[in-house]
Structures are given as C-alpha cells and as structure tokens.
Amino acid sequence: MIELTQQPIDTETVLCTVRSPAAGAVVLFLGTVREITGDAHTHFLEYSAFPEMALAQLQQLEQEACALFPLIHVHLVHRTGRLDPGEVSVAVAVSSAHRAAAFTAGQWLIDNLKQRVPIWKKEHYADGRDEWQHPGMGLTAGPAPEAAQ
C-alpha cells in the first residue's frame, strides 16, 4: 500500500495494514521533523510533490522490495504540506516471516525513498531563512515545484 497525504500519518493504521498471522516480524520506521539541523533551528518544514510522479515511484519501490525480500505486506506513506518539529513526515512499514528480512527491507525502502521519490522539502529556519532540499537529486537551495501540492 502506498500513500501521499496532507493529513497527519496515523501510525496505528499503518501498522495494522502490514500485520498478518503469517508474519513473525513487523518493522515500522517513522521519519520525524527534527528541531535542529546542523546548527540551525528549524521553525517548520514544507513538503511538496508531484503526486502522480511520487506515487508511481513509491509503487515501483514497493514492487522492487517485494521482489528483493520475502515480504508479506508493505505500507509506504509520505506527508506533504507544513509539518512542525516532532510531526511524522514519512512511515515505512513491512512484515515478513523473519526479522532479518523485515529490518533489511525497511532500511532499503526508506533509503531508496529518500533518494528516488520526487518529494521536496523546504526548511524554514527560526532566523527567517528557508532552503529547498532533496538529497537524492542534489537539490539544495534551488528551485522546487511551488504549485505541486
């Protein structure tokens, strides 16, 4: 299951979608907005995406993960819009018969999601500065899709 949402991520629902009697392991990773980035205080983050492109890439990652790892269920959800420190921006949940596959697949999914999915993050700092980020595309302080929400 894959999602983009502007609403807070319901982590209990994410967990429920991957649980199964066949699964001996369920792994949930939550990415949260941190208050300090380097030496800068983060006031809030703003995530933007081209939904069709982002959803297509999330679907591709889900398919690849299921081909690479013995997974039972996968749930990927990324939030867009304004997020304050402490809020959940992304959730990756997987289930598998065994923990090694679940842990490895979960890490593979979040690493590849951050690198490959066209979701941009604009950091708004307490000192009034702001800066666009996308680690996988080498974008820092450059243009991003203002109207792509």
- The tens digit of pLDDT for each residue in 89-135 reads 999 999 999 999 999 999 999 999 999 999 999 999 999 898 887 66
Going by their DSSP bridges, the two strands 119-125 and 71-79 should be labelled as unpaired
Show the domain range for 15. Answer: 2-140
Over the stretch 26-79, which tens digit does the pLDDT of each residue have? 999 999 999 988 888 999 999 999 999 999 999 999 999 999 999 999 999 999
Q: Is residue 46 a part of any domain in this protein?
A: yes
Q: Is residue 147 a part of any domain in this protein?
A: no
Give the CATH number of the domain where residue 85 resides. Answer: 3.90.1170.40
Q: Is residue 145 a part of any domain in this protein?
A: no
On the 0-12 / 13-18 / 19+ scale of CB atoms within 10 A, 92 is buried
